[in-house]
Amino acid sequence: MTSAPVLKLSGIDRHYGEGEARLSILEKADFTLSSGEIVALVAPSGTGKSTLLHIAGLLEHPDGGEVYLNGAACGHLSDDRRTAMRRNDIGFVYQFHHLLPEFSALENVMMPQLIAGLPNGEARERAAQLLDYMRVGHRAEHRPAELSGGEQQRVAIARAVANAPLVLFADEPTGNLDPQTAHYVFDALEALVRQSGLAAMIATHNHDLAARMDRRVTIVDGKIADF
C-alpha cells in the first residue's frame, strides 16, 4: 500500500432544500483514500452514505469543497468530463448487480471496455481473465438469470474493474447475500484490490466484513470520522 491519496475529499458540503426546509447532509467533510487501501463506510441509513459515495464517485456535484482524483480537481467539471472520468477511473458495485439480462457474463464484462474503445478481441480476453480471477470463468456464457446471487455479484465486480479504474466504490455489495456467500464474495473482492492496487471504499452494514478492512469510517454530524 502506498501513502499517496488516490481520492481526496476536501471541505465537502452537500445539502438539499433551502431556507427552513434546508437539510444539511455533509458539512466540511474531509477524507482520503490511498492506493491498495480498503475502507469500510459504516453508518445508519439517512446519514448520507449514498450521498458521500455519489459525490466521491462524481455522480453528484458538491455544494462546496472539492473532490480530487489522483491529484486533479474534478468535483465541478463538466458533465462530459465527469462521465469520461467515471468510465475510465472509477468503478461502481451496488447491492443489486445491475447486469444486463440479455447478455452473458462475459459480454457484461466486455461492455465497458468496448464503450471505452478497446478492440473486441482484447476486451474479450480481459473479460475472460477477470471472470477466471473472480472464480466464475466457468459461467462466462451464462446470462445473469442463470447465475446464483454470489456469482452475479462477482461478475458485477469484474465488470466494475474492467477498465482498470483507480478507485472502486461499493454500496452494500453483499447486502442481498447470505453470510457465507457474502464472505466468499468479499474474499474475491479483497484479493482483487490487493493484487491490482486500486483503492476501494465499501459501504456496508456487515460489521464482520467491516472489521476485515484497513479502516472503518462513519458519518457524524455531516463529517467523516474514523472509529
User: Is 82's pLDDT higher than 60?
Assistant: yes
pLDDT in the model for residue 3? 55
Q: For 139-174, what is each residue's pLDDT tens digit?
A: 999 999 999 988 998 999 999 999 999 999 988 888
Q: Which of 210, 225, 219 is nearest to 51 (CA)?
A: 219
Q: What is the tens place of the pLDDT at every residue in 196-218? A: 889 999 998 888 889 989 999 99
Phi then psi for 24, rounded to 5 degrees? -85, 125
pLDDT digit string (tens) for 85-120? Answer: 888 899 998 877 889 999 999 999 999 999 989 999
Using DSSP, state whether 197 is helix, strand or coil.
coil
Query: Which tens digit of pLDDT belongs to each residue from 20-67?
Result: 788 889 999 999 999 989 999 998 888 888 899 999 999 999 999 999
User: Where do runs of H (alpha helix) occur along the chain?
Assistant: 49-56, 79-89, 105-115, 120-133, 149-160, 179-196, 207-210
pLDDT level of residue 4 (50, 70, 90 thresholds): low
